[in-house]
Structure 1
């Protein structure tokens, strides 16, 4: 229950809704309690009138009017409280979702290396929905009833302490039996949630890769795997439900016995003349008011258990360590801030490995000057893309240092660091929406003129204007309505519009045909002008014009030099040149590298 209280205290801006719900609940309980007293008076008045001692018809009519007013007040106030509860739940869901999404956006890359996208989404829908549904139900229904219960116990104690004591026995008994159930129930619920999250994660992954699934005719296998997880939840639900309802039968059976004793005592005391008929009616109604929260408790505890399990999952994510934040001199605009001779990028004995694995980068050291073009060359798995990830601050070094524009990236907020780097990946990674929105992704406030200028420089304007709606053309999820070359040119235009002082090209033309490559490369050449560029190339022709090459072997720097220098050393680059001009058998060896002829 502490996690649910923590949910409420997390969203403190809703405190006025909390107070409004409390006030409405108090008034709802108060008006609900008026009804038994009015009926008591009406009952006694009718009995007295039948015996010739009553006040007559007018008194009964006024009591009926009073009953109507009490019911109307209860109806209006309870609906006002219900409205506040609904809005509170909606705002709570919105705020928790925003906090969750914000947290996900600040988590380091290592979190996403192991978490399935669909699982992350499933957890959002499940945990927040279950938590807010419980709080909405509690605020709209159970909380007013709980206040009514407390008042009913106090009033009942005035007439008969024994009846009040018997009512008090109901709730500790019920909660004790519930406590016996809770631990096993939550364990089973956690297992169910794991299956649902895994199935949801795979579902999102399959839908996102549906062409691959269909191409390899794996629909049946994916459906079978998906079904296995949900079938497992059915088996767990059988065990969980059988256990829960067995205990619930025991709980409610114990309650039935206690209420039998209460009703029997009321009837006997009335026959003995201790209670009037009106008091008997009053006490029965008060007991029924007290019984409502008790009978609802089974549903409440069930939803509370789900909410507690969901809120635990929510706070597990919220407890993850996020990327660094803080204040540092902005890196953006570093072209103007660099002192003469100071490198734009520096790696100093950088060593890194994923999680608890072996080091994949070992003692890497090199400098890249402002405006210099440097290519990373090496075998697959040699550490080229890892160096780019370290430059972007996506992972933390085990030892060593990376500096950008004179700033240690461990002391630079991620937003400022990445704001200084433009990236064009092999996968263009476009979003659903229009061409305009995708080009302007790095600068949403860009003017139409700026967007068009970037598109022209990226050789994208002509094909964009060939669409019926031009820049307002919808490109589909991940740009599926575009060709590979078109997507890459939009990605280049996006990087141009960002206008960052550092540019990273991670195999930006490797998946393109010759014509598309030529068009994209022309855009990249314009993009690299005046920028410090880091290039991971798939083709030797792409790096022919770089200033220097850094060759990597087994995560270490093997050689650093100009293309002309390294062509003569007999190292990796020279070997690749030789393979390119060698026999067909030698060309097959190029598959071991991220470079082809």
Structure 2
């Protein structure tokens, strides 16, 4: 119940719709309750008229009594028509409000879920499958919205029908009301007993479905790999195995539910046997008229419906609760405590906040002040061992600094921390001109990753991703500078060419040149190049490298590259060993220092097989 109350709290802006739906349901229920009284009155009128005709010898023809009876029953029939029209009209108005409410609820819950996902730090996504996140959203919100739509329509009907039937039954004969008063709590208690095990099994089913859906999305996104390694059958077996498990769980659920349902319905039928027996006997003994008997029988039928509906309501509520539980598990995450820093959740970024000077301004820095400063930074993933231990360095405005080290040395981790994707355990990171929050910080940094990470959509949209307000002329200008225009001209749709999911219709070099153009258009004062050319062939690398040279001009640049030729022109090199800084100096200084950079130069110049193997240890992103 608390979960459903949270959903109502989340969607309190929909209160007018809830009230409107319940008001419509109240009118429809009241109209429905009028039917037994109308039919009961009609029964008494007809029985009386028939009895009068029999008393007069049963001769054909319209007597005064018959004429009066016909007038009354026609009016009663008109009343039944009016009630039916009210039920149909108001019922459909309530249905319309329910549809609109359901759509608005889906929008609210989906938007807040997406907003929360956008606020969560990178660590959350390190531990979750994309498909699982999407499946959880679709399943949870579908179950919640379907339940709330129907429940808001049924709640007043169930409540008003139950109370009205109890009151009316008590007025006619109190034992009827007593038996009904026993039926409701007994049935509800048996339903609650049934639901405990059902909900546990439903949670297990949801877990299997979410995992299978997550793997499904992952396999579809990596189909070339799956086919290349001939893993279609094993992936299918794993997928079908998950759903086979849901079949077994569903069988357990169904067996338990229907066994208990048989018990519940048996108890309910026994109670209604007593109700009907009382009504029939009291009619024969003259305590009820035939019309009252018909009216009470119809009321008992109406009383049965809320009890039977209670089973469905509890079933749907359990589905909604089970579904919303995973929804609120995400919504309850505190972004500041899911930062990957481990030791300082209250200060996830441990970052100074210098005055903002605008995202597009070059990070020239104040006199003597570095553009980027790492001060005794320590970092580890969750509770794991430290990846960075006491890293300290400064980068001057406009300086180009390259990071070199073995795989796992911490190169990419440094850039991730710089962009605020993870929080540090201790130490401080200062970025001149970064502004007062993470959004301002990230606006001051342009990045080109090893993987371009393009979106479905057009080439122009991908280039303008960092500046969606950019004009077409600005987009085409950076495209020319990044050597994008040379291949875009060959496409019939030009910059409006749809590139498909992750740019599947483009080559690796084409995608990377678009990524360079995207960073150019963002025009951020700080640039991060994370293995930006490592996956390209020689021709594509030359084209992309030319664009990168243009991009780095006048910017503070941090470069991670395994090809030494791409970092030969940097101002300084920072070498990393086991998460610690080994050396800092110019390429010329480190070439003769005997450290990691000098070792790399020697290995690259060597033809020995062992040296080539050793070199590969440096050619993997940290």
Q: Please classify the TM superposition score into its range, dividing by the shorter chain length.
A: over 0.9
Question: Which residue is equivalent to 2:313?
Answer: 300
Distance in 1, matches of 2:157 and 2:465, equals 49
In the alignment, is residue 415 of structure 1 matched against residue 439 of structure 2? yes
In the alignment, is residue 588 of structure 1 matched against residue 613 of structure 2? yes
Contact 1:537–1:595 (Cα < 8 Å) also in 2: no
C-alpha deviation, 1:334, in angstroms? 5.4
Distance in 2, matches of 1:416 and 1:130, equals 38
1:97-496 matches, cutoff 5 A: 97-141=110-154, 143-322=156-335, 329-330=355-356, 332-333=359-360, 335=362, 338-405=365-432, 412-496=436-520
Distance in 1, matches of 2:507 and 2:360, equals 34
Contact 1:382–1:555 (Cα < 8 Å) also in 2: yes
Deviates more, 1:170-179 or 1:53-62: 53-62
Distance in 2, matches of 1:595 and 1:67, equals 81
Contact 2:363–2:555 (Cα < 8 Å) also in 1: no
Distance in 1, matches of 2:367 and 2:137, equals 50
C-alpha deviation, 1:275, in angstroms? 1.0
Q: Spell out, residue by residue over 1:336-390, the C-alpha distance to the aligned partner (whole angstroms, 9 max, x if none).
A: 6832111111111100111111001101000111111111100000000111111
Contact 2:575–2:581 (Cα < 8 Å) also in 1: yes
C-alpha deviation, 1:335, in angstroms? 3.3
C-alpha deviation, 1:584, in angstroms? 3.0
Structure 1 residue matching 2:362: 3-state secondary structure: helix
TM-score by length of 1: 0.96
Deviates more, 1:58-67 or 1:142-151: 142-151
Contact 2:458–2:495 (Cα < 8 Å) also in 1: yes
Q: Spell out, residue by residue over 1:490-536, the C-alpha distance to the aligned partner (whole angstroms, 9 max, x if none).
A: 00001111111111100000011111101001100111111111100
Contact 1:123–1:197 (Cα < 8 Å) also in 2: yes
Distance in 2, matches of 1:481 and 1:362, equals 42
Distance in 1, matches of 2:502 and 2:354, equals 34
In the alignment, is residue 64 of structure 1 matched against residue 91 of structure 2? no
C-alpha deviation, 1:237, in angstroms? 1.1
Distance in 2, matches of 1:529 and 1:474, equals 31
Give unpaired runs (5+ residues) of structure 2: 53-64, 337-347
Contact 1:142–1:293 (Cα < 8 Å) also in 2: no
C-alpha deviation, 1:229, in angstroms? 0.8
Q: Spell out, residue by residue over 1:127-166, the C-alpha distance to the aligned partner (whole angstroms, 9 max, x if none).
A: 1111111112223345424322222222222112211121
Question: Which residue is equivalent to 2:585?
Answer: 561
C-alpha deviation, 1:333, in angstroms? 4.3
Distance in 2, matches of 1:367 and 1:359, equals 21
Give unpaired runs (5+ residues) of structure 1: none
Deviates more, 1:2-11 or 1:549-558: 2-11
Contact 2:22–2:155 (Cα < 8 Å) also in 1: no
C-alpha deviation, 1:594, in angstroms? 2.4
Contact 1:342–1:406 (Cα < 8 Å) also in 2: no
In the alignment, is residue 545 of structure 1 matched against residue 569 of structure 2? yes
Sort the Cα spacing of 1:71 and 1:337 in 2 relative to 1 into closer, same or farther, 3 A.
Answer: farther
Contact 2:195–2:315 (Cα < 8 Å) also in 1: no
Contact 1:32–1:148 (Cα < 8 Å) also in 2: no
Contact 2:371–2:396 (Cα < 8 Å) also in 1: yes
1:3-152 matches, cutoff 5 A: 3-52=3-52, 55-141=68-154, 143-152=156-165
C-alpha deviation, 1:406, in angstroms? 6.5
Cα RMSD after superposing both structures: 1.8
TM-score by length of 2: 0.93
Contact 1:540–1:595 (Cα < 8 Å) also in 2: no
**4+ residue segments displaced more than 3 Å:** 140-143, 323-331, 333-338
Contact 1:566–1:574 (Cα < 8 Å) also in 2: yes
C-alpha deviation, 1:99, in angstroms? 0.8
Q: Spell out, residue by residue over 1:40-72, the C-alpha distance to the aligned partner (whole angstroms, 9 max, x if none).
A: 111111112122367321111111101110111
Sort the Cα spacing of 1:217 and 1:595 in 2 relative to 1 into closer, same or farther, 3 A.
Answer: closer
Contact 1:334–1:405 (Cα < 8 Å) also in 2: no
Distance in 1, matches of 2:196 and 2:149, equals 24
C-alpha deviation, 1:328, in angstroms? 8.2
Distance in 2, matches of 1:270 and 1:164, equals 17
Sort the Cα spacing of 1:595 and 1:172 in 2 relative to 1 into closer, same or farther, 3 A.
Answer: closer
Distance in 1, matches of 2:158 and 2:430, equals 62
C-alpha deviation, 1:90, in angstroms? 1.4
C-alpha deviation, 1:439, in angstroms? 0.6
Sort the Cα spacing of 1:307 and 1:595 in 2 relative to 1 into closer, same or farther, 3 A.
Answer: closer
